[in-house]
Structure 1
Amino acid sequence: MHNYPELKIWQQARSLVKSIYTLTDSIDQNQQYVLISQMQRAVLSIPSNIAEGAGRHTNKEFVRFHSIANGSAFELETQLFLCIDLGYVSEENVSSVINDLKEIQKMIYRLSESLKQSLDS
């Protein structure tokens, strides 16, 4: 088992949750309820799956949950681009959030690759 609260990736994913909730608060919730709800579920899935994977007994399971978290990160990225396309937010308002999200995606990838290498040895 891994001590997930000490993982920088988990800490940054928690911070991203706050950023997304702040961002979605600025969108008219009555008209865009489905998209906002989906974005909030996707962002919650990232740190949740990292934590759940950390609680599993093997690195193989941990890697599997990283894959799920990474899928949620790419889902969220798409939803952020859709918000821009639909005019709900400006690109300037979400650029820092997208950059943070891309960094989390890279961190998930690097940690997963590191864990995979330990499985091969």
Structure 2
Amino acid sequence: MSSNSIPEFPVGFFSDMGSLELLACTGCALGPTLSSKTFEFRNGAIRDIHLSWNSLSTLEVDAITGLQPNTVLYVSYNDIRELTEESFRPMLKILSLGDGYIFLGCEILLVHDA
């Protein structure tokens, strides 16, 4: 789905996707707010979620649920300026049980004097 303008998904769209392991939705124009239950995974198989380059600034509570302990969530190159406890702690609680993590990497600019 990457690089397609998909500003929102119907609630529950991903909840019954049996063996979905990887979701790549980079550059899909999802921002600025990722609403509650947008990415609700109930299959127990999700391993990689790529949501970079979406101009996201806010993740509502339970915007992403159903992560597994080894899931990797990529939200780099967005406009997230605050990691709210309500939104991120539930995800981190699950990810801390395994090797999963949230990748918040950003571009580093080096400025050289002329």
- Shorter-chain TM-score bucket reads under 0.3
TM-score between both structures, scaled by the size of structure 1:
0.25
The structure with the largest helix share of the pair is 1
Of structures 1 and 2, the one scoring higher in RCO (CA 8 A, sep 6+) is 1
Bigger radius of gyration among the two:
1
The structure with the largest strand share of the pair is 2
TM-score between both structures, scaled by the size of structure 2:
0.26
